[in-house]
Structure 1
Amino acid sequence: MTEYLEAQWNAKIPLPFVRDQLRRQRALRNMSQEEFGRRANYSASTVSAVETGTRSLDLPYAKRADEILDSGGLLESLLKSAQGDGEPTWFKPWVEAERQGRQLRFFEPMLIPGLFQTENYARAVLRLDDTLPESEVEQQVATRMGRQEILTRERPPQIVGVIDESALRRREAIMGEQLAHLLRMAELPHVHINVVPLTAGLHIGLSGPLMLVMLTDGTWVGHLDHQLGGSPIAAEEEVATLLARWEGVRGIALPEDQSVALIKEIESQHGPQ
């Protein structure tokens, strides 16, 4: 690694800088988004979404870009630097379990789940904590985007996410692109999204978000978020309770096709993306 890249690594550069470099490297070679996409086997719309931050920039994309642009591993190195080690200590055991998992189950009553967040949405959520310096926000955004590599790896886990409709109806400007991204995620064959409609009224899931993962040995572990961080759940009885509650919220959620139709309806209210 060059001294320049080592310095960037130590500085834990922000993710937008990596996207700027991606655009710059492409422009230096007088290559349009259409031509780059054709060579890399991506659509022009995907290339545009990655470069503008509405779609995550992951390591496979960076590696392919380095090959197409002959940039000597620059983009991959910068992305690894940006991703750094931004997850809080209390969340690292879950991230490791997530990477090793065969099945993922989660429910979110208020927010879009982290694995489905766009870069802009994740940044907006993290900025809600006004005690975080901007550098730490960017580092956590990059790390969150890095987690999403499991969605597109060669053998991805089966993912079933249940989201309360209220999380989809936030009025922030970023919601249009976020909902469009959620619909793209729903097209993946191993991703299943169900929405609990507002008409369901009060339900057990409103007690808070939960996440569950089945490891390679068939055992389940869980994770609960709260205001001060999060807690891993491994005791058999507690995991069984979380599984029962997850089944409860999925049981009152709309089927996949109706859930996707509802997301499309809400997304259409934000205008063209």
Structure 2
Amino acid sequence: MEREDPLAFVRDQLRRQRALRNMSQEEFGRRANYSASTVSAVETGTRSLDLPYAKRADEILDSGGLLESLLKSAQGDGEPPWLKPYLEAERNARQLRCFEPLLVPGLLQTENYARAVMRSVDVRSESEVEQYVASRMERQEILKREDPPQFIGVIDESVLRRRDAIMGEQLAHLLRMAELPHVHLNVVPLTAGLHVGLCGPLVLVRLVDGTWVGHLDDQLGGSPVGAEEGLATLLARWEAVRSAALPEGLSVALIKEIESQHGPQ
């Protein structure tokens, strides 16, 4: 069965609110400073419906923030069920430990990088891709809040050396994030050879009360780890990959060296 687009209801309400005010797409577009073709594309789902558009629509239609609220709810509801336990832990984290052998950690991804990752799953519609990207960008706010968690990211060097066109921008973003006092990056160099981290990514979250929550990703999704034995294994493997990584200063220097090979951004 085809998966229902969680944004379809929001688009339906957008059309309904406009119709209730006897406003054509042309008139709405004129007031909102959008072309009629853009308005049509948003309402039919061929162009993504984002928060700035929803906020402007609420202003024009005097809908009291309804569309913005519905859109935020749809974005939250669109998260896969297997990810929600981790997201709840992430929101309440005091420390985040993340190892990635294949990708830049999600909380450090640029919008363009996240979009490319989401599009690599070719069964996703464009609206699903944009929904996931928006959710990921919203999650990153945790690192910008007044009292952010400490973030320690360990990345395999091979991740940084992928030659995609978006990598220059992504590397520059990593360097900016590394300047934040609560963000720490370590790179496992290619010279480390085989190491236990190549068995797969892992995330460990320390909550306010000192307890730990783990999370593992795979091709089918992901799963939380809360059992004592599983957490002990993940903590041990974290120490192993962290010990294989370069110190923070040398890691940042390596990122700068690789970033310089992409030319000016």
* Shift in alpha-carbon separation, 1:248–1:133, aligned structure 2, 3 A: same
What does residue 94 of structure 1 align with? 86
2:226 is the alignment partner of 1:234: yes
* Shift in alpha-carbon separation, 1:74–1:179, aligned structure 2, 3 A: farther
Amino acid aligned to 1:80 = K
What does residue 169 of structure 1 align with? 161
CA drift of 1:80 comes to: 3.1
Q: Does the CA-based 8 Å contact 1:83-1:140 persist in structure 2?
A: yes
Match of 1:258 among 222, 234, 250: 250
What does residue 58 of structure 1 align with? none
What CA deviation, in whole Å up to 9, does each residue of 1:37-77 have, x standing for no partner?
Answer: xxxxxxxxxxxxxxxxxxxxxxxxxxxxx9xxxxx979976
CA drift of 1:134 comes to: 1.0
The alignment partner of 2:181 has SS state of coil
* Normalised TM-score (structure 2): 0.76
2:221 is the alignment partner of 1:221: no
Amino acid aligned to 1:7 = Q
Q: Does the CA-based 8 Å contact 2:95-2:149 persist in structure 1?
A: yes
- 5+ residue gaps in structure 2? 1-9, 17-42
Q: How far apart in 2 are the matches of 1:120 and 1:79?
A: 21
The alignment partner of 2:216 has SS state of strand
**Coordinate RMSD, CA, aligned:** 3.0
What does residue 133 of structure 2 align with? 141
Give the alignment of 1:128-207 within 5 angstroms. Answer: 128-207=120-199
What does residue 50 of structure 1 align with? none
2:244 is the alignment partner of 1:244: no
Q: Does the CA-based 8 Å contact 1:5-1:78 persist in structure 2?
A: no
Q: How far apart in 2 are the matches of 1:115 and 1:217?
A: 23
CA drift of 1:252 comes to: 1.1
Q: Which stretches of structure 1, 4 residues or more, deviate above 2 A after TM superposition?
A: 4-22, 72-86
Q: Does the CA-based 8 Å contact 1:160-1:191 persist in structure 2?
A: yes
CA drift of 1:9 comes to: 11
Q: Does the CA-based 8 Å contact 1:121-1:174 persist in structure 2?
A: yes
Amino acid aligned to 1:216 = V
What CA deviation, in whole Å up to 9, does each residue of 1:191-228 have, x standing for no partner?
Answer: 10000000000000000000000111111110000111
* Shift in alpha-carbon separation, 1:236–1:180, aligned structure 2, 3 A: same
What does residue 108 of structure 2 align with? 116
Q: How far apart in 1 are the matches of 2:177 and 2:46?
A: 25
Amino acid aligned to 2:199 = S
Larger radius of gyration: 2
- 5+ residue gaps in structure 1? 26-65, 67-71
The alignment partner of 1:102 has SS state of strand
Q: How far apart in 1 are the matches of 2:189 and 2:164?
A: 20
The alignment partner of 1:95 has SS state of helix
Amino acid aligned to 1:201 = G
* Shift in alpha-carbon separation, 1:208–1:176, aligned structure 2, 3 A: same
Q: How far apart in 1 are the matches of 2:12 and 2:49?
A: 15
Q: How far apart in 2 are the matches of 1:203 and 1:262?
A: 19
Q: Does the CA-based 8 Å contact 1:168-1:179 persist in structure 2?
A: yes
Q: How far apart in 1 are the matches of 2:213 and 2:249?
A: 29
Identity %, equivalent residues: 72
